[in-house]
Amino acid sequence: MNTHNVSSAPGCIQLLQQHKKRLQDAQSRKGQCLCIQRPRDETILGFNLRRAKNQGRSSLDHSVRSSIIPPAYHPCTRSLRNLQQIMIKDLRVETHHRDTYLLLRSVTPPDEMTAILAIVEDENGDVLMLQLYNQDMDRPVEETLPEGTALIVKEPFLKLMSDGEYGIRVDHVSDVIFLSAVDERVPLCWRPQDSPNFDVSHWKMRGDELCDSAKYQLAIESYTKALDGLPNSEESTILRLSRAYALLKARRFDEALLDLNSIPQTSPSAEKALVYKVQALYNLHRYRECHQVLSCLGPESSDNPAIKDYPSRVLRRLEEQEHGKYQFKPMYQASKAFPPDLDHATYIGPVAVKPSSARGRGLFTTEAVKAGDLLLCEKAFAHLSANPEQDKNVTLLMNIETDTMTVGTQSDLIRVITQRLYQNPALIKQFTDLHHGSDSPVNVSDVDGKPVLDSFLITRIVSLNAFGCPPSSREYYLADKATRLETGNQFHSCGVWPNSSYINHSCDSNAQRSFIGDMIIIRAAKDLDADTEITFWYATPDVDDFEAHRDKFQHWGFQCDCIICQDYQNTDPTILEKRQTLRTEVRHYIQSTRQPDLARIESTVASLASTYSRPAREVPRLGIWDVQCVLAKKYLRLNQPVKATEAVFGALESLGYVIQGAKIPGAPLVIMQWGFMVDQLIEVWLVLAEAFHTVSPELEARAERYARITYKICVGEDETFEDTYITNST
């Protein structure tokens, strides 16, 4: 939602078409035998030259990386023992070799593009390019696929690549099995000549060395080998503790907990295990349990620097998680770090997921709420922030099947989520439960002791549930419109927030989302009864191109049938045309002179109003309110506060607000019905407050209060309200 979709930009359409054509050409050769085009040495040399060129590229160079999502295919769900080995020479072009596997060894160091690349050989010595997608890129590629790595690719897919060469493309992480040098599946001729039969203490020592050099994934493998070597119970406890440490560092928290839970309470390692447990539970956001474990720690652990500040942090997280109490100001400071991965808990307010007629599931209020109330404040499941230092490196994500192209971090987000799920399988269900359209996922959750992960399912879930986001909504709000358009990269960052993903779209939304770093904040934009479906915009309504706005929902596979869309469809096209003509006219009046003819603008507003047939309190009039806001500001500047208040009330009424006391001098000012929410209303309420200062001073504070609530709804919090307006007015 609001991700930077550039599918309709001319250059992008052309690029998509080129890739489609290439794919069609490749498809026309589907099933053909692989003819090895180049001798082995030439293939290796060509790869190494390209790798050297790639590595020599300066980080200052402009680059466009494109990641193409090929037609979807399912991951392998069969155990390796039920697959037959196949050789490179037997592969067929553009074919998934079901029920088979390749046994390979890398014969070059790895290269890194949007995938990890290397040349691999099979036991016949035939070579091919291997492309491993969705691997852990936070780890040096040399660690993931060092030269000489033996690996198995289950049900391989031979692809004709864009340069006309062949390659084995692996999209699903669960389709690759990396083999250690001493794995019995590695052919003898690939094993080191003098591979001795190492014992428990060797692997333990090796694990410790790898931990010391921060190679945690490799350390985990070493400790596992030590544990496989039948250690005695004392050794086993120490090994599990060491492996838990490496797992914590590798952010594999579920597995770390499994090891920690197996350590007997009577063991001398028990106290250390509790310290690690605190860290694992905290990172899994299980703060209540974390609090309990903290209370079991002995006094010597309280001073342990690794967890010294945990008691206070856990208490703050519990305040957030259980009561929705956040300190927003420090969150801005934290959001300036890169990446802006904030240490805050998720609060799920008075909301619940329920069936929503014809929209699948939706999020509903469980009790009545007031405009401005916090409904959700959610930590991202995964969030990828555009690095301001690297804005020269643009990543394009091309989806040939859906004909879409997005700019920004979405392709990395897919990889990051894949890795997170692969390393923390307990999270898979929460993520794969999210809406994924008509895709039918595989029904096998794990095979050969590892989870089966479908990266195309993850891609689809990201495409339907990710939100584009600015570094913070306050920053976005403060940047004036021109700057927003000029920099244009605010939504190159994106993330997935699972609870918020259940919210359906309506152009006439009743909630607003805002962001600080990787936290999403969702507040009610209206007073809502219990059991009301919460909705927000997937794309902001564009009154001047409403047709294009409505087309955007094709991406999500629905047509909006909200009251605004219904009214638009029921309005005669000639009336819609007249409305647009009047808007063009009025824009011209506003912009053409320094002292616009306000009477003329007012009369155009009246004409615009006549293009709407239903009352504004039923259907917001999106084509008028902005003109009335301009009028209000102009009248205030001309020192005509009464006219300014009239224009403000006109704008609010056009947006569907019903305000008691608006036109009765001295009567209290109360919003009886909240209308359409836009962030420009913050200033509109402040214009009203300023006008009231002269004409109805007793109402000034009330208007300011509504400005503050509007600010809270649009920016996410109101702690910075004074800072924003004091700074802005000086």
Ligand X SMILES: C[S@@+](CC[C@H](N)C(=O)[O-])C[C@H]1O[C@@H](n2cnc3c(N)ncnc32)[C@H](O)[C@@H]1O
Which residue stretch of 177-185, 421-429, 499-507, 631-639 sits at the interface with ligand X (rule: CB under 6 A)? Answer: 499-507
Q: Are strands 351-355 and 166-170 parallel, antiparallel or unpaired?
A: unpaired
Among 464, 469, 519, 659, binds ligand X (CB under 6 A): 464
Which residues have a Cβ under 8 Å from the Cβ of 53 and sit 6 or more positions away?
none
Among 78, 286, 359, 693, binds ligand X (CB under 6 A): 359
Residue closer to ligand X by CB (options 301, 402) is: 402
Q: How far is the CB of 558 from ligand X (least distance, A)?
A: 3
Binding mask 546-565 for ligand X (x = CB under 6 A): ----------xxx-x-----
Distance of alpha carbon 381 from alpha carbon 287, whole angstroms: 16
Amino acid making up residue 348 = I
Distance of alpha carbon 220 from alpha carbon 274, whole angstroms: 20
Q: How far is the CB of 1 from ligand X (least distance, A)?
A: 7
Distance of alpha carbon 307 from alpha carbon 224, whole angstroms: 26
Residue closer to ligand X by CB (options 249, 435) is: 435
Among 506, 512, 604, 710, binds ligand X (CB under 6 A): 506
Distance of alpha carbon 68 from alpha carbon 84, whole angstroms: 30
Residue closer to ligand X by CB (options 310, 536) is: 536
Query: For ligand X, how many residues bind (rule: CB under 6 A)?
Result: 16
CB-based contacts of 475-484 (< 8 A; 24+ apart in sequence): 477/679, 477/714, 477/715, 478/724, 478/728
Tally of residues, the chain: 730
Which residue stretch of 184-192, 339-347, 356-364, 491-499 sits at the interface with ligand X (rule: CB under 6 A)? Answer: 356-364
Q: How far is the CB of 553 from ligand X (least distance, A)?
A: 7
Q: How far is the CB of 501 from ligand X (least distance, A)?
A: 5
- Taking the CA atoms of residue 12, residue 18, residue 24 and residue 26 in that order, the dihedral angle to the nearest 10 degrees is -120
Residue closer to ligand X by CB (options 226, 464) is: 464
Q: How far is the CB of 309 from ligand X (least distance, A)?
A: 36
Q: Is the link from the previous residue into 339 a cis peptide, with omega within 30 of 0?
A: yes
Binders of ligand X in range 392-431 (CB under 6 A): none
Decide if 182 contacts 218 (C-beta within 8 A).
Answer: no
Q: How far is the CB of 557 from ligand X (least distance, A)?
A: 5
Indicate the residue whose CB is closest to ligand X. 360
- CA distances, 609 to each of 604, 614, 626, 721 (Å): 8, 10, 13, 33
Distance of alpha carbon 167 from alpha carbon 541, whole angstroms: 44
Binders of ligand X in range 362-391 (CB under 6 A): 362
Among 47, 282, 347, 502, binds ligand X (CB under 6 A): 502
Instruction: Look up tokens 């349990």; give the residue.
Output: 289
Angle of the 287-296 helix axis to the 270-283 helix axis, nearest 10 = 160
Among 22, 420, 435, 693, binds ligand X (CB under 6 A): 435
Is residue 360 a contact residue for ligand X (CB under 6 A)? Answer: yes
Both tokens of residue 691? 């006008």
Chain-centroid distance, C-alpha 543: 28
Q: How far is the CB of 464 from ligand X (least distance, A)?
A: 5
Residue closer to ligand X by CB (options 353, 400) is: 353
Is residue 501 a contact residue for ligand X (CB under 6 A)? Answer: yes
Decide if 694 contacts 448 (C-beta within 8 A).
Answer: no
Both tokens of residue 334? 């934290």
Q: How far is the CB of 713 from ligand X (least distance, A)?
A: 20
Decide if 305 contacts 366 (C-beta within 8 A).
Answer: no
Is residue 504 a contact residue for ligand X (CB under 6 A)? Answer: yes
Residue closer to ligand X by CB (options 356, 640) is: 356
Q: How far is the CB of 216 from ligand X (least distance, A)?
A: 35
Among 78, 191, 251, 361, binds ligand X (CB under 6 A): 361
Binding residues (CB under 6 A) for ligand X: these are 359-362, 435, 464-465, 501-502, 504-506, 556-558, 560
